[in-house]
Amino acid sequence: MMALTGLFLITFLIVHAGINAMIFFNDGGETFAHWAHFMGTNLIIRTMELVLVAGFVVHIVDALLITKHNKAARPVQYAYSNPNANSTWYSRSMGLLGTIILLFLIIHAAHFWIPNRYNQFTTGEELNLFTRMQDTFSHWYVVVIYVAGCFSLFWHLMQGFKTAFQTLGINHPKYNPLIKNVGIAFSVIISVLFASMPISMFFNLVH
Amino acid sequence: MSENNMKITLKVWRQRNNKAKGALETYKVDEVSSDMSFLEMFDVLNDKLIREGKDPIAFDHDCREGICGMCSMYINGQPHGPLQGVTTCQLHMRSFKDGDTIVVEPWRAKAFPVIKDLVVDRSAFDRIIAAGGFISVNTGNAQDANALPISKELADRAFAAAACIGCGACVAACKNSSAMLFVSAKVTQLSLLPQGEPERQSRVLDMAAQMDAEGFGSCTNTGACEAECPKGISVSNIAHMNREFFAAELNKK
Ligand code: HEM
Ligand code: SF4
Ligand code: FES
């Protein structure tokens, strides 16, 4: 379930990053607004949105259950342990990285998703998300929170992308290098792309 | 160059029995030779403790040549110590320096309760094997060894998985105390061979169920098991077991 929901969340990231990248057309958010409108009103997309929320919930609930089970499997800790000798810090910190992502997601949803949907329900109108982005990202601390969120996402994906395949039983000498490299490339591209949005808005590079 | 006069400080987990509370105790061992194995150093220390009328340190060992899987010490934060592909009995003092302090603990897992000091009960592994890690053979004469054709490639992969000695270092290294490397090695070995075919699907389900019942954690793919395994068992066996498991689940009636 971790792997399936994780891969599903990854597909969401691709679409989300793609649409948001429209701000870089530097046309006052016109292209972006077009696609944001499509995403905000299309029935299929709105249904997928519910599936997406469910995907997050299942991923998080499963993470909590697994973590509880795994903690119980070692009631007495080692007095001295050297885990860096056999594994990477981020592979052991999926729960911590995921929690940071979750905190970020709550803040992020409060910035855009919740106000926009609320407005749609009450007035039937969508908000101008582009100017809302410009406002939101004019505060340096918001930019810092977003960059920190992208940073956690990067490490979560660095481990999650490739291990989702391993969990699903896909491990073959011929394809392993491909999965690994695509995983690295994906983690870098997605996080840098997302992080670049608040940063370039803050410095007024996008208008 | 071999050295004969190393001074080593050991911090060893002492625990009277399963119920007692344990603690690390400090021992000084002088005149350690760099050619000694790690266990021989413990023999020297125990000899001294016995002559002083103290309780010697209990630790598991049998073959002392890296094939039985009995030795099991968590040395300076790593199962079987700092080297790769080596059991504790094959670790030598030349891997340490004069004056070093070495912390030695038992494997830590709910499914591996401490019996005494550094000795843990690994019968959970036996019960997992009994649940499905076997093949059925007809009584009577053994059949001709070459009667069943097996490709070289499959034989090699099965053999690599069969190299597991059941030491439990994978569990000890895993942050979740998961036994997936051990279980997947046996599942993979038998699933690749025609002899394992009759019980192929029930085996993976039964062994996985027993593994969970014993209280081992889940695999989270950190790769620590593979890095610490003295026999170089690969995590590709875990992916293979996951495949076997999904197929068996889907086919289950
Ligand atoms: C929202 C908060 C999140 C939390 C609390 C969280 C938590 C976790 C945890 C604890 C694991 C390790 C599970 C295990 O032990 O196998 C994990 C794995 C994973 N996560 Fe997340 N995560 C979150 C968000 C995300 C997002 C946004 C994505 C992708 C876009 C994602 C993709 C993955 C993937 C692909 C895996 C690997 C699955 C596997 O190894 O089988 N996660 N997550
Ligand atoms: S897989 Fe390796 S570490 Fe685990 S029990 Fe077998 S030999 Fe020991
Ligand atoms: S004592 Fe047999 S493997 Fe170490």
Which atom of ligand 2 lies closest to the CA of B166? 5
CATH of the domain at B229: 1.10.1060.10
Q: Please tell me chain A's helix, strand, coil percentages from 3-state DSSP, rounded to the nearest 5.
A: 80, 0, 20
- Cα B48 to averaged position of ligand 2 atoms, centre (Å): 32
C-alpha to C-alpha distance for A101 and A13, rounded to whole angstroms? 13
Asked if the C-beta of A18 comes within 8 angstroms of chain B's C-beta atoms, the answer is: no
Same-domain check for residues B41 and B156: no
Query: Tell me, what's the pLDDT at B197?
Result: 93
Same-domain check for residues B98 and B127: no
Query: Tell me, what's the pLDDT at A8?
Result: 86
Same-domain check for residues B60 and B107: yes
* Contact partners, residue A63, CB within 8 Å, separation at least 6: A2, A94, A95, A98
Same-domain check for residues B137 and B67: no
Q: Could you count the other beta carbons within 10 Å of the beta carbon of residue B112?
A: 25
Half-sphere exposure of A173 (CA within 13 A, CB side): 2
Sign (positive/negative) of CA torsion A94, A95, A100, A101? positive
User: C-alpha dihedral over B169, B170, B173, B178, to 10 degrees?
Assistant: -130
CATH of the domain at B83: 3.10.20.30
Q: Are B128 and B69 in contact (CB under 8 A)?
A: no
Same-domain check for residues B148 and B247: yes
* Model pLDDT for residues A27-82, shown as the tens digit of each residue: 878 888 888 888 888 888 888 888 899 999 999 999 999 999 999 999 999 999 99
Query: Tell me, what's the pLDDT at A20?
Result: 85
Half-sphere exposure of A169 (CA within 13 A, CB side): 10
Residues in chain B within 8 Å Cβ distance of A74: 108-110, 175-177, 217
- Could you tell me which chain A residue has the CA closest to the CA of B221? A163
Same-domain check for residues B155 and B59: no
Sign (positive/negative) of CA torsion B227, B229, B233, B239? negative
Q: What is the DSSP letter of A204?
A: T
Same-domain check for residues B88 and B198: no
CB contact under 8 A, B108 and A72: no
For the entire predicted model, the pTM comes to: 0.92
Residue whose CA is closest, atom 3 of ligand 3? B66
Give the residue extent of every domain in chain A: 2-66+91-202
Closest CA to A96 of A14, A156, A21, A158: A156
Same-domain check for residues B14 and B103: yes
Same-domain check for residues B185 and B224: yes
Those of residues 113-142 in B touching chain A at CB distance below 8 A are none
For residues B13 and A122, which has the higher predicted lDDT (pLDDT)?
B13
Of the three residues B55, B86, B115, the one that is the final residue of a domain is: B115
Same-domain check for residues B156 and B69: no
- Cα A91 to averaged position of ligand 1 atoms, centre (Å): 11
The finding on whether A95 has its CB within 6 A of some atom of ligand 1 is yes
Name the minimum distance, in Å, from the CA of B225 to any CA of chain A.
Answer: 8
Nearest-10 crossing angle of helices A30-41, A43-72: 80
Same-domain check for residues B12 and B78: yes
Residues of chain B scoring pLDDT < 50: none
CB contact under 8 A, B239 and A77: no
Look up the ipTM and state it. 0.88
Residue A4 has pLDDT above 90, yes or no: no
Catalogue the E-assigned strands of A100-167.
Answer: none
Same-domain check for residues B162 and B55: no
**Number of separate domains in chain B:** 2
Boundaries of domain holding B215: 122-252
Closest CA to B127 of B52, B182, B201, B195: B182
* Model pLDDT for residues A92-119, shown as the tens digit of each residue: 999 999 999 999 999 999 999 999 999 8
Q: Are A109 and A53 in contact (CB under 8 A)?
A: no
What's CA A156's distance to the chain center, in Å?
A: 9
Which bound ligand lies closest to the C-alpha atom of B171? 2
Query: Tell me, what's the pLDDT at B181?
Result: 98
Query: Tell me, what's the pLDDT at B138?
Result: 86
Asked if the C-beta of B217 comes within 8 angstroms of chain A's C-beta atoms, the answer is: yes
